[in-house]
Amino acid sequence: MSTAFDAIKNEEEQLLCRSYSRYPLAIVKGKGSRLWDVDGKEYIDLLAGIAVTALGHANDEVTAAISKQAATLTHVSNLFYQKAQLRLAKLLCSTAHFTKVFFCNSGAEANEACIKLARRYMRKVLHKDAYEIITLEGCFHGRTYGSLAATGRANLQDGFEPFPAGFMQVPAHDIAALRAAISDKTAAVMMEAVQGEGGIKPLDHAYLQQVQALCKEKNVLLIMDEVQAGLCRTGKFWAFQHAGICPDIISTAKSLANGLPMGAMLTTDTIAQGFVAGSHATTFGGGELVAATAATVIEIMLRDNLAQRAQSLGSYVKAEVQAIASRVPGQIKEVRGLGLMLGIELTAPGKAVWLELLRRGIICNLSHDVTLRLLPPLTIDKADLDTFLSTLEAVLRDNAALLLPAAK
Ligand SMILES: *Cc1c(COP(=O)(O)O)cnc(C)c1O
């Protein structure tokens, strides 16, 4: 270990609250799909800041947009009309059936807005005392009290009780369980088309269509959390579009401003009646700097057809990983996901494999101990994916031959 890295690690342990377990890396620079650590070592980044820098690190056009807007106006608050918000709202609405947007700063806040709108729409527009939000086991919707109540994982909730009431969970792909859970008190059903933190688990399109039909039948809202899977990552602009459904409300964040904190809730004119002036607000949400940046990001995504790019590169990687699985048998259980949102589930705990990939200059995430999770920039060169594939094959061969050093 380098002294530069150790110095940073030690200082961090004294200065920051202990709430993260970090990778053994201090990153100082990025460009495209490459990152450099404090010792000058170069990495191929297949994580993109957890699905955030979809256009790559230090993207020239995004940097220019940030610089230009920063030099003009950064923030005035939502007391004022702001042109950048309109530019961004029009772009977002052009991607689907949505006609109304609310801006915020993160995925959790976007989900809070979804939950608050759903409840208030039921009370104030439909005059129905319905407030329950039904989510799926294995989901992840954020770390604020509402979004964490929706997430409902004992290990994340431990020590933080009590949580707000009115949240319940059902197993995924069990339409009967969802039907049984819906009552007069149900305001909305909320899910991710591809569970991200849950280990890259796509929901069947037929199931999503059944969920939509059930929501319509029972007059409850359908909320899709597109925070991770949205914005071209899965091969469509929004992940729900694979199933051909039309959710009432969606949340987005992660890639929205390519690394600046930014979230949004999208809905229709009808549902948006649930909010009136003063119902919900944020100081920073949709400020000029982030809104102008996000508008540039969406323009680039649409102009360069990054959904299509994610689709074709994703299919390529999936097929190649399947080929590796047959050449190096007994190592890979399955590869799943859509577009450039991929999970490679190993047959055994994968800490040693993940760490060896890191040592050989490949950054990815290890999810639930067994799944290598890939969320690369959508602009990544095919050559970088090929380097990953050949490195993965070599590492898995060494792992099969028990040649990898034991993971700490
Ligand atoms: C990351 C994530 C969130 C939370 O977003 P934050 O910006 O961390 O608050 C919510 N939902 C999904 C699906 C996510 O992947």
Give yes or no for residue 44 CB within 6 A of ligand 1.
no
pLDDT on residue 408: 66
Give yes or no for residue 226 CB within 6 A of ligand 1.
no
Question: Which atom of ligand 1 lies closest to the CA of 261?
Answer: 7
Distance 396 CA to ligand 1 centre (A): 31
Would you say 380 and 232 are in contact if contact means Cβ atoms under 8 Å apart? no
pLDDT on residue 406: 80
Question: Which atom of ligand 1 lies closest to the CA of 109?
Answer: 9
Give yes or no for residue 227 CB within 6 A of ligand 1.
yes
Query: Is the sign of the CA dihedral 282, 287, 293, 299 positive or negative?
Result: positive
Tracing tokens 């170069």 back to the chain, one arrives at: 42
Give yes or no for residue 320 CB within 6 A of ligand 1.
no
Domains of the chain (ranges plus CATH)? 4-58+307-403 (3.90.1150.10), 73-303 (3.40.640.10)
Q: How far apart are the first and last CA of the chain?
A: 14
Q: Hey, what amino acid is at 133?
A: I
Tracing tokens 């957890």 back to the chain, one arrives at: 50
Q: Which of 47, 254, 256 to mutate to test the pocket of ligand 1 (most atoms within 8 A of CB)?
A: 254
Tracing tokens 């080929």 back to the chain, one arrives at: 323
Distance 183 CA to ligand 1 centre (A): 27
Give yes or no for residue 91 CB within 6 A of ligand 1.
no
Give yes or no for residue 45 CB within 6 A of ligand 1.
no
User: What DSSP element (H or E) covers 74?
Assistant: none
pLDDT on residue 3: 80
Q: What is the pLDDT along the chain (408 residues), one digit of tens a residue?
A: 568 899 999 999 999 999 999 999 999 999 999 999 999 999 999 999 999 999 999 999 999 999 999 999 999 999 999 999 999 999 999 999 999 999 999 999 999 999 999 999 999 999 999 999 999 999 999 999 999 999 989 999 999 999 999 999 999 999 999 999 999 999 999 999 999 999 999 999 999 999 999 999 999 999 999 999 999 999 999 999 999 999 999 999 999 999 999 999 999 999 999 999 999 999 999 999 999 999 999 999 999 999 999 999 999 999 999 999 999 999 999 999 999 999 999 999 999 999 999 999 999 999 999 999 999 999 999 999 999 999 999 999 999 999 898 876
pLDDT on residue 369: 97
Give yes or no for residue 259 CB within 6 A of ligand 1.
no
Give yes or no for residue 151 CB within 6 A of ligand 1.
no
Question: Which atom of ligand 1 lies closest to the CA of 228?
Answer: 15
Report d(CA 373, CA 375) in Å as an integer. Answer: 7
Peptide bond into 405 cis (omega under 30): no
Give SS3 for 341.
Answer: strand
Distance 324 CA to ligand 1 centre (A): 31
Q: Could you tell me which of 310, 356, 355, 302 has the C-alpha nearest to residue 337?
A: 310
Name the strands in the sheet holding 371-374, side by side, starting at the edge strand that comes first in the sequence.
332-338, 341-346, 371-374, 365-367
Q: Which of 20, 52, 140 to mutate to test the pocket of ligand 1 (most atoms within 8 A of CB)?
A: 140
Distance 223 CA to ligand 1 centre (A): 14
Report d(CA 82, CA 78) in Å as an integer. Answer: 8
Helix (H) and strand (E) counts for the chain? 14, 17
Distance 99 CA to ligand 1 centre (A): 23
Q: Which of 52, 145, 227 to mutate to test the pocket of ligand 1 (most atoms within 8 A of CB)?
A: 227
Distance 107 CA to ligand 1 centre (A): 4
User: Atom 10 in ligand 1: which residue has the minimum CA distance?
Assistant: 141
- The CA–CA distances, whole Å, from 383 to 25, 40, 386 equal 24, 21, 5
Give yes or no for residue 107 CB within 6 A of ligand 1.
yes
Question: Which atom of ligand 1 lies closest to the CA of 192?
Answer: 13
